[in-house]
């Protein structure tokens, strides 16, 4: 089962600028432990969806589904970090 996305997941994701190939080549074993079951892909998907919502390109249903995913898979503090990334 996938772990909850934490601020540490987002910090590591940012360290590699969202580049999964760079992460695969250069990350430490400690960093790789954080991304075992699709967490990287979930962060990418959430950031894309947040950008759509912020730019008013998503339907209300899509926005509601995103909020459900955020609450189910992401710790509260990490939600705020992800939202700030797409509001910049």
Q: Is residue 40 situated within a structural domain?
A: yes
73 occurs within a structural domain: yes
Distance CA 18, CA 20 (A): 6
The whole-number mean pLDDT for each consecutive block of 10 residues of the chain, a chain of 88 residues, reads: 90 97 96 92 96 94 96 96 86
Angle at 74 between CA 40 and CA 29, to 5 degrees: 40
Residue 79 domain boundaries: 7-87
So what's the pLDDT on residue 3? 83
With respect to residue 39, please indicate whether it lies within any of the assigned structural domains: yes
The reported pLDDT for the residue numbered 59 is 95
How far is residue 15's CA from residue 9's CA, in Å, rounded to a whole number?
Answer: 10
Q: What pLDDT was estimated at residue 26?
A: 97
């Amino acid at each position: 089962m996938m772990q909850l996305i934490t601020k540490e997941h987002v910090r590591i994701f940012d360290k590699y600028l969202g580049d999964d190939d760079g992460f695969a080549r250069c990350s430490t074993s400690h960093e790789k432990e954080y991304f075992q079951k699709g967490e990287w892909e979930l962060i990418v998907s959430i950031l894309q969806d947040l950008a759509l919502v912020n730019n008013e390109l998503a339907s209300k249903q899509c926005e509601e589904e995103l909020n459900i995913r955020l609450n189910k898979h992401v710790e509260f503090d990490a939600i705020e970090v992800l939202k700030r990334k797409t509001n910049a």
